[in-house]
Amino acid sequence: MDLMTAKEAAELWGISQRRVQVLCDNGRVSGAERLGNDMWVIPKGTPKPPDGRTKAAKQHSNPGAVTRDIERLIGEVNGTMSIEGMPLTDEDKERLRVVLRGEVTADEMVRRLVAKHRRGENE
């Protein structure tokens, strides 16, 4: 197995050698092993772990929180639409979930809806 040092990983990932060492110390680098007291070796090709200090990384590490956020947003949108007399259908809610999970872009979802309604007009 080809290995790289923390210094080589730092250059590859664009972060400091010390940051790589901290990530290794915290068990965030897959396959990293300590040699002696202060040397880490990492399998070549190991991807840089996400920065745990960012919101995206925190959500990635807690998918349940993301699901709760999505459901809260859908509930808020549905509440607003209900006040206007146009509550969301189950199909609308599922479309929102797909977009909010990042499975489809909002632009793509709009294209799909337009195509669906154009087909309905031609029937």
Chain segment 10-27, per-residue pLDDT in tens: 999 999 999 999 999 988
Q: Is there a domain that residue 48 lies in?
A: no
Is residue 39 located within the same domain as residue 59?
no
Q: Is there a domain that residue 14 lies in?
A: yes
- Tell me, what amino acid is at 24? C
The stretches of the chain forming alpha helices (DSSP H) are: 6-13, 17-25, 55-61, 63-83, 90-100, 106-122
Q: Say if residues 89 and 78 touch (Cβ distance below 8 Å).
A: no
Q: Is there a domain that residue 85 lies in?
A: yes
pTM of the model: 0.47
pLDDT digits (tens, 9 = 90+) for 63-113: 666 778 889 899 999 899 999 999 999 999 999 998 888 888 889 999 998
- Please count the structural domains in the chain: 2
Q: Is there a domain that residue 50 lies in?
A: no
Is residue 73 located within the same domain as residue 94?
yes
Q: Is there a domain that residue 49 lies in?
A: no
DSSP 87: P
Nearest-Å Rg of the Cα atoms of the chain is: 23
Is residue 20 located within the same domain as residue 63?
no
Domain enclosing residue 32, as ranges: 3-43
